[in-house]
Structure 1
Amino acid sequence: MTPEDLAPDVLTDAAAPIDPARVSDSLDHENTLKKDFVRRVRDCLEAGESDTVYDLVEPLHPADVADLFELLDADERPLLAKAISDLMGSEVFAELNDHVRELLVESLPAGTVADIAEQLDTDDAVAMLEDLDEHDQLAVLAEMEPEDRAAIETALSYPEESAGRLMSRDCVAVPEHMSVGDLIDFLREGHDLANEFWEVFIVDARHHPLGTCQLSWILRTPRHIALTDVMKRDQTLIPVLMDQEEVALRFQKYALISAAVIDEDGRLVGQITVDDVVHIIQEEAGEDVLLLSGAGEGDINEPIRESYLARVRWLIANLLTACLASFVIANFEGTIAKMVALATLMPIVAGIGGNAGTQTLAVTVRALATNQLTASNAWRAVRRELGIAVLNGATVAVVIGIAVSLIFGIPRLGAVIALAMLANIVIAGLAGVLVPLTLNRLKADPAISSSIFVTMTTDSMGFLVFLGLASISGLVG
């Protein structure tokens, strides 16, 4: 099959009337594609029954079509793209998983990709093209209309995960001398306006944003009133180089629906809307959780090689920290040999300490990510986590101390493990808050490597404190 075989004859976003009964046959009660439906599509693709595949997929929402692509194997996706060519509009591509979209785009001819990109908002088009290699990217851009190409090239010039990549250039901006009536006439007659917008940006002669007018204000205001008299002058302006995570925090903090993006000279260059930010919030939250575990992107559509490279380096790092813990144990080999019960209880001390450290670490990383924890309240957070660690440590110490004393019949052993447990949980609490704070101060992402340092601390110190106390307490002769 050649790439040209995949080229759709028609690219359209027009939605045909949908039969709800047919859609319900495809989706389960959770609005996900049924297993039987996916199997029928697979069987028809294998049998070459393209018309049947088209009839099955046609009633689906673009988001469900995107889900279908993700559920199919990599070699089945081009067959589906060919079978439903005129359903492969921009809305489907906007909903596709990044890895699936990248592989699918690579299989399509440049002209087809260019046609799809021209239908997308700038931010969605950039997301579709940014992961292509330079040769394919240039080939697609060469097929686009000059105006669309210029917009995408400008967006691609900004750093990844910046507001410039996230923004859409399709915003409505008007000069400050207009009246409400002038603006209404302009909106009704405008042929090149954005498809969807919630507010109009008022700019001066240098294209600097002065304020905004929501559509609801415009519709309720007499025509003769000047825009400068009704516009909202308080604005949250987003610098074009701002990191997307900071953008999301501003939207959350100020409850924004949309916001103007400005360049280094303060000129309006685009807007960011809340639908883009919801995606970023979800992406960043998931990214932090996966980084804490060292699982890379954690995307089931991610190529095996990329997943391997992302995970193996952290496993090697964990191996090194485990060797350090083993070194500590080796130095107490004689102590352990004299009382086998110590070997039985060691993992409990290290394991509970590790869990306590992970709890504190998760809270701290989240607080740093959401700007709840900053330099101004860092020591208050440390004191808070220390207090919680002492209370948790004391509670667990009493329980484990009594249990070990009763099970082994050695009260001194119960006292040793109780003190070791208290000490390790306190150490874990301090490590869980101080490690990410230190990494953040060093301008490193605390979500990436904090867990390794915390685990190393709780394991090594847990063994050291427990076996050290056992040695000096006279528990073993």
Structure 2
Amino acid sequence: MSESDTVAAALDEELVDAVPESAIDEEDRLRPEFVDRVLDAVEAGDDATARELVEPLHPADVADLIELAANDERDGLVRALAEIVDADVLAEMNEHVRETLLDALGPDAVAKIAGELETDDAVAIIEDLEEDEQRAVLSAMEPDDRAAVEEALTYPEESAGRLMQRDLIAVPEHWTVGQVIDYLRSTEDLPTDFWEVFVVAPNHHPTGTCKLSTILRTPRTVQVRDIMISEQTLIPVDMDQEDVALRFQKYALVSAAVIDSSGRLVGMVTVDDVVHIIQEEAGEDVLLLSGAGEEGDINEPVMESYRNRVRWLITNLGTALVASTVISLFEGAIEQMVVLAVLMPIVAGVGGNAGTQALAVTVRALATNQLTGSNRWRAVGREMRVALLNGVTVAALLGVGVAVVFANPLLGGVIAAAMLTNILVAGTVGSLVPLTLERWEIDPAVGSSVFVTMMTDSMGFLIFLGLAVASGLV
């Protein structure tokens, strides 16, 4: 084993020993027993034991611990862990829980916390405050920190300007590797984490990048311009954070330069921030598809969850009335043959599932930029072919089953034809609805499921009952 491997193994052992074995399970979650031990210690007034248990945890695990506590237990827990709940813990915390804790702190305390964070994390904390609270916190911050946060707040929400870090390493092209290394060693105010050095022209326009590994392995006399990588991915300051994440994913970036409208280097985005964005955007799309709102969360206040969800339930009620109206048109036929009422939910239900499948695939393709103007109709055609194959398979099984069970081959043929047609409609609608919403510059995840469900239910009832009447079955 090499010396570096030995050192790494020793560090790993120290890290394992530092965290109580009973605190974290095999899936990196806090064990319920550990959470109960900490909360019991706080309730008993034994703050020292609570701190001793929690101190070895990573800031993200401390944040999880606070989130797992009930609302009436959090204040006591945070007071007991006051020395541990620092800026890093707040940065990892769920925004709803963090907002509640910050409301209990004064502007000076919030300003101190924000001053200890990277600019992007400080902005994430301050942007959720009310305007008067923001002003109070900003006025209490150090001038340099305040200027950086105020500048970030001028950019659109969920843009690269809000996401980026202002602290970075930028050097001129004519410097030697030795000058860069001496600068890094002698300058105290450097970013906490960075993986590359940005190379800039005299007008501060980025011209290339140098990886730290390249700098460390190059002789001191070599100029930066001779080892820099000229081709780089530049992020406009007003780019949406979802597009930023897609660029990181597409080009396998670890960090990227952010430029303003004049092309000047103003910040950098790092992959650790992008990981959070990818998780956030993916969760947001799932919530929007279900109608639970953009920020559905188990820590979200009840009234906020109610407001986010009830509007879509009311919308769904309206679309359900459309399906009920279709059924009412065939009331006489259903009275003559009650079995139609038994079978028609099958046609609508399976069609709804087929539509949801096509919808999920299309929304994901749009979110990851797989669908563009050059291949969207090809994608629609693909979903129609998949729907046709699914329709033939399900229709054959259902048709034969109904014909045998009810001893009525005509009824089996009618429901098979209805099922095939509705699944084909579902596949087509499931792909066209999000594409249409995107063309109208509406988030495809918003409301798509409601409209697709309405179409599959209404068409399922209409096709099945209409074929039953047209075929002379009733």
Shorter-chain-normalised TM-score: which range? over 0.9
2:135 is the alignment partner of 1:138 = yes
Q: What amino acid does structure 1 have at the position aligned with 2:149?
A: I
2:236 is the alignment partner of 1:239 = yes
Q: Secondary structure at the match of 1:447?
A: coil
Match of 2:453 in 1: 455
Q: Is the 8 A contact 2:390 2:423 kept in 1?
A: yes
- 1:184 equivalent among 181, 185, 189: 181
Q: What amino acid does structure 1 have at the position aligned with 2:53?
A: L
CA shift for structure 1 position 37: 2.0
CA shift for structure 1 position 75: 2.8
Normalised by the length of structure 1, the TM-score is 0.94
Q: How does 1:299-448 map to 2 (within 5 A)?
A: 299-448=297-446
2:95 is the alignment partner of 1:80 = no
Question: C-alpha offsets along residues 75-116 of structure 1, whole Å, 9 cap, x if unaligned?
Answer: 322222221111122221111111111111111122121111
CA shift for structure 1 position 18: 7.1
Q: 1:428 to 1:51 in 2, by over 3 A?
A: same
Q: What CA distance in whole angstroms lies between the structure 1 residues aligned with 2:265 and 2:298? A: 38
Normalised by the length of structure 2, the TM-score is 0.95
CA shift for structure 1 position 35: 1.4
- 1:51 equivalent among 48, 61, 69: 48
Match of 1:122 in 2: 119
Q: Secondary structure at the match of 2:442?
A: coil
Q: Secondary structure at the match of 1:174?
A: strand
Match of 1:295 in 2: 292
Q: Is the 8 A contact 1:322 1:456 kept in 2?
A: yes
Q: What CA distance in whole angstroms lies between the structure 1 residues aligned with 2:15 and 2:176? A: 42
Q: Secondary structure at the match of 1:76?
A: helix
Provide the alpha-carbon RMSD of the alignment: 1.3
CA shift for structure 1 position 27: 2.3
Q: Is the 8 A contact 1:159 1:241 kept in 2?
A: yes
Match of 2:88 in 1: 91
Q: Is the 8 A contact 2:363 2:434 kept in 1?
A: yes
Match of 1:175 in 2: 172
Q: What CA distance in whole angstroms lies between the structure 2 residues aligned with 1:199 and 1:28? A: 35
CA shift for structure 1 position 134: 1.0
CA shift for structure 1 position 26: 2.1
CA shift for structure 1 position 19: 8.0
CA shift for structure 1 position 53: 1.9
CA shift for structure 1 position 332: 0.3
CA shift for structure 1 position 21: 6.8
Match of 1:152 in 2: 149
Match of 1:10 in 2: none
Q: What CA distance in whole angstroms lies between the structure 2 residues aligned with 1:399 and 1:311? A: 37
Q: What CA distance in whole angstroms lies between the structure 1 residues aligned with 2:40 and 2:222? A: 64
CA shift for structure 1 position 425: 0.3
Amino-acid identity (%): 65
Unaligned 5+ runs, structure 1: 1-16
Q: How does 1:4-23 map to 2 (within 5 A)?
A: 20=17, 23=20
Q: 1:391 to 1:18 in 2, by over 3 A?
A: closer
Q: What CA distance in whole angstroms lies between the structure 2 residues aligned with 1:34 and 1:334? A: 60
Match of 1:13 in 2: none
2:68 is the alignment partner of 1:71 = yes
Q: Is the 8 A contact 2:20 2:53 kept in 1?
A: no
Q: What CA distance in whole angstroms lies between the structure 2 residues aligned with 1:18 and 1:115? A: 29
Q: What CA distance in whole angstroms lies between the structure 2 residues aligned with 1:412 and 1:22? A: 69
Q: Is the 8 A contact 2:18 2:56 kept in 1?
A: no
Match of 1:203 in 2: 200
Q: What amino acid does structure 2 have at the position aligned with 1:354?
A: G
Q: Secondary structure at the match of 1:302?
A: coil
